[in-house]
Structure 1
Amino acid sequence: MHKINEMMDRPVVIEEVRDFLRTAQKQLDGKLGTIEKEANEKRVPIIPHETVAFFVWLFGQIKPKEILEIGTAIGFSAGLMAQHMEKNGKITTIDRNPVMLEKAKVNFKTLGIEDRITLLEGQADEWLAKLEKNRYDFIFMDSAKAKYYDFFPDCMRVLKDGGVLAVDDVLQGGTILEDVKDIPRRRRKIHKKLNAFLEIVLDHPALETTLLPLGDGLLLITKKETADFSFMKEVEAQ
């Protein structure tokens, strides 16, 4: 069983615009299109189609060869990226959920991309600490939202200068703007950590950042130059 994301039905744009973005843009065909359709029918959380269309366009511009994904889920987004990245490109993807991992393995085999995917099973923070510095052209982070803050320093360490980090679901259905006292207790940690994360990255001199109202908010960060973000780990350790 997968846990339904309660933010799936809280679009950050009006529903008519959201539906237009999801239906009017070019649809996926073939095996990947089938995976997307079945996931949406079964309410399995995957990136929404407006983000799919954006990634297809983005990859045509930046042409990544080495991709890191944090949050494999059923492997849909990795399948999409593999289809639109450079021909001989490689993807490293991390997840700890055994149910999702089994589904991802099946989907990678169905899509015929097993030889291009390195699947790392376990805790993302442990794997991130082991990865090579300045290796990746593109990183897609779509994991536990409260962990974005914690994972960010290592993401910047392994991302090449000029590389792009895309972070999904940062607006929390718009509740990110609310006062923390108005947030249900079960979601306050996510609320606090996401706000702390955004406060650092939106105006940092070493980063070029833009926030797009796709899905539940897609944050794009270009690493203009190397900077030290180890202070974020120090804050977390306190």
Structure 2
Amino acid sequence: MLIECRTDKGKVRDINEDYIMVFKTNKYSLIIVADGMGGHNAGEIASKLACITVRDFISQNYITYDNNEELIRDALVKANNLVYEESQNNINYSGMGTTITCCLISNDELYLGHVGDSRAYIVNENGIKKITEDHSYVQELINNGSITENEAVSHPQRNLITRAIGAEKYVVVDTKHETIKEEDYIILCTDGLTSYLSNDEIKDLIIEYGILAVDKLINIANDRGGYDNISVIVAKRGDEK
């Protein structure tokens, strides 16, 4: 698995509350992005704790599960429990939470786990496919026909998420299974990227630069304002062409 990744605090924020993780074994590769939230640097704590918990749970339990969607769901539930407990037990971390989007990739099989509004895409010459659905207020408005996708981009409440790791005692985790081809690129990113670049722009840069598009994507987001932290992971099976 070829993987490039980077996280950047952007042009405005004082700290980076995003956290990214790449973990490879001889059986699978695990890639994760998380976008933390909360005062007193608590978002930074939440995103890191969630990523580490998911990595450790999958590493410790990989061989005991027959179903990798269940494995990744249970890993995210475990992360939710730990982040929630930490927010309850430490007043400085009260109300913290994080998005998380992760892919467990083994050969041509991809297993997705997702909570929040970070995103996962599959890109190839035929186009770009978003394989996550944002857990956000504007996505609910899109789903019920109140606004269009284009209107959502500039909606004043576009950053309001409806589901997060650690925000509540219990969490609903989205999972999905995809079969990936040799030519497919897998992209994980936080909304610091997708607030500034369209899906088509992301696709075009990936097709042109492959996994090396990571820096290009982040630099463009910064050039266009960089108001938020920006994180991107690009992965591809086999050898780069």
Quick check: TM above 0.5? no
**TM-score normalised over the length of structure 2:** 0.30
Q: Which has the higher contact order (CA 8 A, sep 6+)?
A: 2
- Greater strand percent: which structure? 2
- Greater helix percent: which structure? 1
